[in-house]
Amino acid sequence: MFGKKTLRGAMAGLLMGALLMAGGCVFKPGAGPDKGPPAQQGQIGQQQPLPEKTAEIAGVKVTAGGGTVKDGAIHLASFNIQGGSVYFEPGTLLSPDGRWIAFQTTQKGAGEGLWVMALDGSGGKLLARIDEKEYQSGRLILQLLGWTPDNRVIYSRQGTQPDGAHRGERGISLRVAAPGQGAEREAAWLPMPAGMVRQVKLLRGKESVFVQTDMRSDRPGDWNGSRISVMSYGS
C-alpha cells in the first residue's frame, strides 16, 4: 500500500489572496489562458480585484475572483464541492505565469480528482480521477507535484495502473499535462511490484522528480531497505 500525505486539509471555502501579498507582489492574470496579461491596477501601486466568474466542471464549482477584503488582500478563487473537500500545497497551486491553479478534490462516491482552472474563469479541466474504491483502499494515489517553467502540470499516479502502457502494473507513473491544450503524456515509469512510496518531490530547475521507496521482503534475493531514485520529465 502506498503512503498518503498527512498535510492534506479539507477546505470547502478557500481564500488564497494572502499567497500573493508577500513581498508586495501584484497579481496580473491573463485575459484568457492564451492571451497576454493585462494590468490589474487602477492607480499606480493599487491592487485591483479580479472580476468574479463562476464555472462548474464535473460537479466542482469554482468562482474566480471575488473582490478585495480588509487590509488589501484579494480573493483569487473559492471552491464548492458537494459531499467533498479541496486540498493543495501552496507551492504547487499557481502556474509560473499566474494564470492557472491546480488542486485536488475528494468527493463521496467519486473518489479523488486532479483539476486545473484558469483564474479568469475562462476554462478548466479534470486532468485525472481515481475511483472511490481504489482511493479508499490506497491502491492508487494521485499526487500533484508542481509546474514546469512553461506552465505544464506535473503529477504522479502511484499504484496499480488502470490504463495506459503499464495497465495492470504496480509502480509510479510520472505524468505531464498542458492545461490549455489538454494534452497529457507519461514522462517516466518506475516499477514497484512491492514496497511503499515514502516521498515523491519535484526537483525544481532539474526537470526531475526525487523518489524515496521502502522495500521489506523475507524472500531470498529480494532487495531490502530504502532506495532513492530520480525520474526525469524532460522532453
pLDDT tens profile 193-209: 888 899 999 998 889 99
Residue 3 lies inside a defined structural domain of this protein: no
Q: What angle do CA 204, 144, 30 make, to 5 degrees?
A: 75
Residue 76 lies inside a defined structural domain of this protein: yes
Question: % helix / strand / coil in the chain, to the nearest 5?
Answer: 10, 45, 45
Q: Among 19-33, 67-81, 120-134, which is the least confidently predicted range?
A: 19-33
Amino acid at 114: L
Most confident listed range (32-36, 51-55, 88-92, 115-119): 115-119
Residue 12 lies inside a defined structural domain of this protein: no
The contacts of residue 205 (CB under 8 Å, 6+ apart) are none
Grid cell for residue 117: 482552472
The pLDDT of residue 58 is 67
Does residue 90 carry a pLDDT above 60?
yes
CATH of the domain at 64: 2.120.10
Most confident listed range (57-61, 82-86, 197-201): 197-201
The pLDDT of residue 50 is 62
Global pTM value: 0.71
Strands 140-147 and 153-160: antiparallel
pLDDT tens profile 147-176: 999 999 999 999 999 888 999 999 999 999
Grid cell for residue 49: 480585484
What is the span of the domain harbouring residue 111? 17-232
Enumerate the β-bridge partners of residue 199.
212
- Per the document, the length of the chain is 235
**Can you say whether residue 42 is alpha, beta or left, with left for phi > 0 and alpha for psi between -120 and 50 degrees?**
alpha
The pLDDT of residue 217 is 66
Residue 201 lies inside a defined structural domain of this protein: yes
Residue 176 lies inside a defined structural domain of this protein: yes
Burial 107-145 (b: 16+ CB within 10 A, else e): beebbbbbbbbbbbbbbbbebbbbeeebbeeebbbbbbb
Residue 133 lies inside a defined structural domain of this protein: yes
Q: How confident is the model at residue 221 (pLDDT cuts 50, 70, 90)?
A: low
Grid cell for residue 151: 506552465
Residue 22 lies inside a defined structural domain of this protein: yes
Residue 150 lies inside a defined structural domain of this protein: yes
The pLDDT of residue 105 is 83
Instruction: Give the total number of structural domains in the chain.
Output: 1
| Average pLDDT for 61-89 | 73
The contacts of residue 25 (CB under 8 Å, 6+ apart) are none
pLDDT tens profile 22-50: 333 323 334 344 444 333 434 444 555 56
The pLDDT of residue 77 is 74
